[in-house]
Structure 1
Amino acid sequence: MPVSCIARNELRTPSRNTRLEHAIRTVLLSALLMVPALAAGADETKPPLRLCADPSNLPFSSDDPGKPGLYLEIGQAVAQKIGRTVSTNWYKSYFGKRTVRETLLSKQCDAMVGLPLIDDFMGPAVIFSKPIAHEGYALVGSKDRKLAGIDDLRGLRVAVQYQSTPQNLLALRDDIRKVTVLSPEEGMAALEQGKVDIAFIWAPVAGWLNKTSYGDKYQIVSTEGDGLLWATAIGFAKASGALRDEVDGVLPGLQGEIAALFAKYGVPNSAPVKFGEADRATTSSVGASEPV
């Protein structure tokens, strides 16, 4: 689900000028986000599709108009198809389910792209569109290394995120040396510095970093198994069934565009490698769509 669950405390109270600058920036960005839909002939009598999004959570979303992120671009494509403009409600996603309660369920926005499509997520309060993709964990390593299953990790140093499913999965494998990291960024850095041979980390962020920071140097192999991969969808409040059905009606025609957006942001969307079952982690470390 949206975010990392590592809350960060803001220690400074912004000045009046800072708040004003942020407000102006938000208004200008919202106007820019409306441009594609207006140019495509959006029905101005319809209200904007209000999207919940994190302003600094690439590859998923950001308040930079030049790279709005995977989820925001999917939301924009959906809005265009149903003849609406877009407005954005910014809220930090590292608060996990609290983010959903304080935005989507508090009627601050109409939809949240990229929520995990699982039965026990937020109970009946949230309803979902048809699946838009599958996201989870991936093995990251040099392109000449075989990564076809867990046995290919024997004798290797493997970076695993703290309290994640990969850490649980490898816990009983004494023939695999586990190196605990706190984030995908730390795992990728350890790989680049030669401290580990493989990083077993949150795939979307690994793919984005590989594309933007490491020159597509590494292979990203998606994994499948209990707690390793799940479908994601667009979430709506329970009362928004009509909007959900309208969105479902246009999603089949957007699959090609959605696949292209995954490639644009380096997020892996290929056939996964099957792993054995493991106890699912009870605490998320950084997955932007990870259930918590």
Structure 2
Amino acid sequence: MGRCGLALILALAAAPASAAELRVCADPNNMPFSNAKGEGFENKIVERIAADWGRTLKYTWWAQRRGNVRSTLKAGECDLIPGIGSTVEMVGATRPYYRARYVFVTRADRGLDIASFDDPRLKTLKIGVQMVGDDGSNTPPAHALAKRGIVDNVRGYLIYGDYAEADPQAAIVRAVASGQIDVALVWGPTAEWYAKASPVPLVLTPTPWLDGPQLPMQFDVSMGVRREDNKLRTDLNAWLGAHKADVDAILAGYR
């Protein structure tokens, strides 16, 4: 190898970290988590990471529907997916950076104060539950209701909704506000985000964190990298540990 070739290799090796990219796959229309305008809390957190590491933040926008990990992270389209379940086996999960659970959403003026799946009123009230995917797969609250025989008075709302709309996940919360349904079971961060914009006051009451030994309602949330990417996972864990107060402050801003 000539001197010029060796010099080039040494120059590249010494290139500043700012020359690198932080490649992130995120949902372009999934508030309060992320959107293409960078308004979600996941946007804010990865922006901080990229800035601290001196990297350029590069997004691949992809709806977080079924199959998105295979089509993005595993396909090499990105190196990091924020906001993924800590127990998802398809990825190498970082340390959790927040925990959330499902909540009961009701109108304040109804005074329902439902806090248990065993509340007898659930047998007659109109209930909305979030469903996953076009096949209507059940979320944990839907399973909890079904095992109690509460089925006929339940209406499903797809988690991802209609992506042609600006707020595809808002329908279930808005249905409570308008009186179409009496109570909804909604993932906490989603419920908080849309309840604050409701034209009528809404009450959000956490579900029990566990419904029987096999049905948790509360989950830890991490960032996901490829399982073999130990270097990035280690770096992210270190950052999340060192900047816990900063992350908590960002999350608090989104309630």
Match of 1:129 in 2: 94
Instruction: Report the CA distance between 1:62 and its aligned residue.
Output: 1.1
Match of 2:8 in 1: none
User: What secondary structure, in the 3-state scheme, does the structure 2 residue paired with 1:214 have?
Assistant: coil
Structure 2 CA distance for partners of 1:165 and 1:79, relative to 1, 3 Å: same
Instruction: Report the CA distance between 1:233 and its aligned residue.
Output: 0.5
- For 2:44 and 2:120, locate their aligned partners in 1 and report how far apart those are by CA, in whole Å: 36
Aligned pairs (5 A) from 1:8-19: none
Q: How many residues align?
A: 215
Is 2:103–2:204's contact at 8 Å kept on the other side of the alignment? yes
Aligned pairs (5 A) from 1:204-219: 204-211=189-196, 213-214=197-198, 217-219=201-203
Match of 2:26 in 1: 53
Q: 1:241 aligns with which of 206, 216, 230?
A: 230
- 1:116 matches 2:116: no
Question: What per-residue deviation string (whole Å, max 9, x for no partner) do you get for residues 92-111 of structure 1?
Answer: 222x2x21112111222111
- For 2:177 and 2:94, locate their aligned partners in 1 and report how far apart those are by CA, in whole Å: 38
Match of 2:11 in 1: none
User: What secondary structure, in the 3-state scheme, does the structure 2 residue paired with 1:182 have?
Assistant: strand
**TM-score normalized by the length of structure 1:** 0.65
- 1:140 matches 2:115: no
- For 2:239 and 2:190, locate their aligned partners in 1 and report how far apart those are by CA, in whole Å: 28
Instruction: Report the CA distance between 1:159 and its aligned residue.
Output: 1.8
Q: 1:167 aligns with which of 136, 142, 146?
A: 142
Structure 2 CA distance for partners of 1:174 and 1:50, relative to 1, 3 Å: closer
Match of 2:52 in 1: 81
Is 2:115–2:206's contact at 8 Å kept on the other side of the alignment? no
Instruction: Report the CA distance between 1:232 and its aligned residue.
Output: 1.0
Is 1:179–1:196's contact at 8 Å kept on the other side of the alignment? no
Higher CA-based Rg: 2
Q: 2:76 aligns with which of 107, 111, 119?
A: 107
Aligned pairs (5 A) from 1:212-227: 213-214=197-198, 217-223=201-207, 224-225=209-210, 226-227=215-216
Q: What percentage of aligned pairs have identical amino acids?
A: 27
Structure 2 CA distance for partners of 1:63 and 1:57, relative to 1, 3 Å: same
Is 1:154–1:175's contact at 8 Å kept on the other side of the alignment? no
Structure 2 letter corresponding to 1:131: P
User: What secondary structure, in the 3-state scheme, does the structure 1 residue paired with 2:220 have?
Assistant: strand
Structure 1 letter corresponding to 2:128: A
**TM-score normalized by the length of structure 2:** 0.73
- For 2:151 and 2:72, locate their aligned partners in 1 and report how far apart those are by CA, in whole Å: 42
Unaligned runs of 5+ in 1: 1-42, 267-292
- For 2:171 and 2:148, locate their aligned partners in 1 and report how far apart those are by CA, in whole Å: 22
Is 1:138–1:222's contact at 8 Å kept on the other side of the alignment? yes
Instruction: Report the CA distance between 1:230 and its aligned residue.
Output: 1.3
Structure 2 letter corresponding to 1:130: R
Question: What per-residue deviation string (whole Å, max 9, x for no partner) do you get for residues 108-161 of structure 1?
Answer: 21111011111x532xxx211110112342111234543432344635432223
Of stretches 183-192 and 145-154 in structure 1, the one that deviates more from structure 2 is 145-154
Structure 2 CA distance for partners of 1:247 and 1:53, relative to 1, 3 Å: same
Structure 2 CA distance for partners of 1:77 and 1:152, relative to 1, 3 Å: farther
Structure 2 CA distance for partners of 1:216 and 1:222, relative to 1, 3 Å: farther
- For 2:199 and 2:253, locate their aligned partners in 1 and report how far apart those are by CA, in whole Å: 14
Match of 1:181 in 2: 156
